[in-house]
């Protein structure tokens, strides 16, 4: 089979497919030229990430396309139901990037609670002349241990966050109306395993009790608007590494400006890939360009998992 990884694929996955006798193309084809390329090249499998879409028009234009795979969790850039109704195999890699996203959450939190983004900007500028002043300015950091973390969405990524939080000595609470079993395993490097559970709460109760709220739900529908942000604990922190639009950015800026929230971290934005300038420039925001799953380890896992699913259907 000929496989087009239009948004790229880790070499580990390519190797699995090529050893099985398949051809993998990593040519980046523009969206408007994609259907023609698939037809011309006889592509049977299209692999995408977040940049490429596979809508009904593309599916209809490519009758030889047997499979559509998404490297990652959400498949909102694919018309999944329509493709499956047309007999195409549609798949993703929901578990491969969980740990990477969870680690990014704590990277942002560690930075915000210890003023690292600002300190990293100021030290090269004023570290030589105002070292003691900067030391005093950043001397009121906070520890994660003992804090309550509220996890909105308790799927694979939410549970990965819970494991790390528990290991850091945090109290773990969560909200997810679709989850009945809130247990999770904490696996240690020496092979020991501990099973515990998060305390589940209605959304407003979770928001009111949490020192930190982190968002891990699918879709782009707004969940945290002005009302929900106002119900958060004063001085709390918010992290969104899920989808842009889940958090109302205007309401978030208002909550930061009036001091209700101490800070927030965004890895995803409403207007990707052109986030609003007032978001990009806000001093209380810790920002990254949608890199939750972008680790070498996660990309290898995603590539291999995609390859294995293709081979299982070939």
Mapped onto helix, strand or coil, the DSSP state of residue 171 is: strand
Task: Kindly write down the DSSP assignment for every residue of 108-165, as one continuous string.
Answer: HHHHHHTTHHHHHHHHHHHTTTSHHHHHHHT-----STT-EEEEE--SHHHHHHHHHH
Distance of CA 82 to the CA centre of its chain: 25
Q: Identify whether 99 is a catalytic site residue.
A: no
Q: Which one from 18, 222, 272, 297 is the annotated catalytic residue?
A: 272
Q: Identify whether 216 is a catalytic site residue.
A: no
Q: Which one from 243, 249, 282, 301 is the annotated catalytic residue?
A: 243
Residue 92 pairs in a beta bridge with 70
Distance CA 18, CA 29 (A): 21
Please list the alpha-helical segments (H only) found in the chain. 11-19, 34-41, 56-61, 80-85, 98-113, 116-126, 131-137, 156-167, 203-209, 226-230, 249-257, 277-280, 296-313
Mapped onto helix, strand or coil, the DSSP state of residue 27 is: coil
Q: Which one from 103, 205, 290, 308 is the annotated catalytic residue?
A: 290
Q: Identify whether 32 is a catalytic site residue.
A: no
Sort residue 27 into left (φ over 0), alpha (ψ -120 to 50) or beta. beta
Closest Cα partner for 294 from 71, 37, 3?
71
Known catalytic residues are 243, 272, 290
């Amino acid at each position: 089979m000929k496989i087009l990884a239009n948004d790229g694929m880790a070499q580990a996955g390519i190797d699995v497919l090529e050893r099985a006798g398949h051809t993998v193309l990593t040519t980046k084809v523009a969206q408007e030229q994609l259907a023609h390329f698939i037809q011309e090249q006889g592509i049977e499998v299209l692999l995408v990430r977040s940049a490429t879409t596979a809508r009904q028009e593309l599916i209809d234009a490519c009758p030889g396309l047997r499979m559509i795979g998404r490297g990652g969790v959400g498949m909102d850039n694919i018309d999944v139901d329509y493709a499956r109704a047309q007999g195409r195999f549609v798949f993703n890699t929901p578990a491969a990037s969980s740990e990477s996203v969870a680690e990014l959450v704590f990277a942002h939190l560690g930075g915000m609670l210890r003023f690292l983004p600002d300190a990293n900007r100021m030290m090269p500028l004023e570290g030589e002349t105002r070292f003691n002043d900067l030391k005093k300015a950043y001397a009121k950091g906070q520890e994660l241990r003992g804090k309550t973390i509220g996890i909105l969405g308790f799927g694979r990524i939410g549970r990965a966050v819970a494991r790390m939080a528990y290991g850091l000595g945090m109290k773990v609470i969560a909200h997810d109306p679709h989850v009945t079993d809130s247990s999770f395993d904490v696996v240690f490097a020496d092979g020991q395993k501990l099973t515990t559970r998060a305390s589940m709460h209605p959304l407003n109760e979770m928001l009111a009790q949490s020192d930190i709220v982190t968002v891990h739900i699918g879709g782009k529908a707004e969940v945290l608007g002005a009302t929900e942000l106002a119900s958060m604990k004063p001085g709390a922190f918010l992290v969104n590494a899920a989808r842009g639009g889940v958090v109302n950015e205007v309401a978030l800026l208002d909550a930061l400006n009036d001091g209700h929230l101490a800070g927030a971290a965004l890895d995803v934005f409403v207007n990707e890939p052109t986030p609003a300038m007032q978001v990009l420039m806000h001093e209380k925001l810790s920002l990254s360009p949608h890199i939750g799953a972008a680790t070498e380890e996660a990309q290898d896992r995603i590539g291999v998992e995609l390859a294995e699913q293709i081979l299982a259907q070939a």
